Structure 1
């Protein structure tokens, strides 16, 4: 059974492999991270850990029994009881309910561990899977937006403890 783990230093190799293996899959629905992300991955990983240590963000990995990363669920811009939720699941693991389960768990952690009372999220209109995950986790649409030039929706979830 996959486990949700807070990002650690030793996750770096498996996380890099996850991002490389799924790069094209992710780029079909979210902006590509770009070559620099991969070229300077170790520096970026260290920066994320520093942000997490400062309580600005909380990065979670969904890790399989074999230690492979199956997904990410992140809380960023944590401030004044609010945070933005972002997530991505490996192509080979998509469609099995892992995203919904992981998002719900991070919602509960957001409230219980990080003091977050309101979560925000965005997705493109053409990402039906992501819209479904957000709806199942109790997020409601708040308006139309542009996500890197593509039509999208913003969502909010109050009382994340009830996820």
Structure 2
């Protein structure tokens, strides 16, 4: 079973491979990261780790038994007991329930390790898989939005009833 891990410096090579391998797949449902992201990946990775140290964000990777990254689940803009949830799962791992499991696991970490009380998320209307993940993970629709010019929905999840993490990550 894949494991959720807090982002570390040594994740950089596997994370870069994940982003490169899935670039076209992700671009079909979310805005492409652009060439600059890949050209400056090492600097960006260092910047993310520094930001994580401040407590403003909690970046997680979903790692398989071989040490490869299967997904990311991030909590950003941590403030006033809440954070914005974002996630992406590798094409080769999609459709197996990993996204739902990872979102649930990070929700448990958010509540029990980071002391958060609610999470927010958003997805485009045409991303049915992401909408299904959020619904299965206990998020409810709170409104409409636009993401990169595309119509979308906003979501919220109270963490008051989230059970403790299954394992200590």
Q: Is the TM-score greater than 0.5?
A: yes
Q: Which residues of 2 match residues 1-163 of structure 1 at below 5 A?
A: 1-159=1-159, 161-162=161-162
| CA separation of 1:83 and 1:110: change in aligned 2, threshold 3 A | same
Change (3 A) 1:109 1:161: farther
Unaligned runs of 5+ in 2: 164-169
CA distance in structure 2 between the partners assigned to 1:159 and 1:76 by the alignment: 16
Q: Which secondary structure does the structure 2 equivalent of 1:5 belong to?
A: strand
> Secondary structure in 2 aligned to 1:114?
coil
CA contact (8 A) 1:120 1:157 kept: yes
Size of the aligned set, in residue pairs, is 163
For 1:152 and 1:80, how far apart are their aligned partners in 2? Answer: 25
Counterparts of 1:142 and 1:79, CA distance in 2: 19
Structure 1 unmatched ranges of 5 or more: none
Task: Indicate if the aligned counterparts of 1:103 and 1:137 stay in contact, CA closer than 8 A.
Answer: yes
Deviation by residue 1:90-117 (Cα, 9 ceiling, x = unmatched): 0000000000000000000001111110
Aligned residue in 1 for 2:167: none
| 1:159, distance to aligned residue in structure 2 (A) | 1.9
Give the whole-Å Cα distance in 2 for the aligned partners of 1:160 and 1:68.
33
SS of residue paired to 2:11: helix
Give the TM-score taking structure 1 as reference length.
0.98
The alpha-carbon deviation at position 160 of structure 1 amounts to 5.6
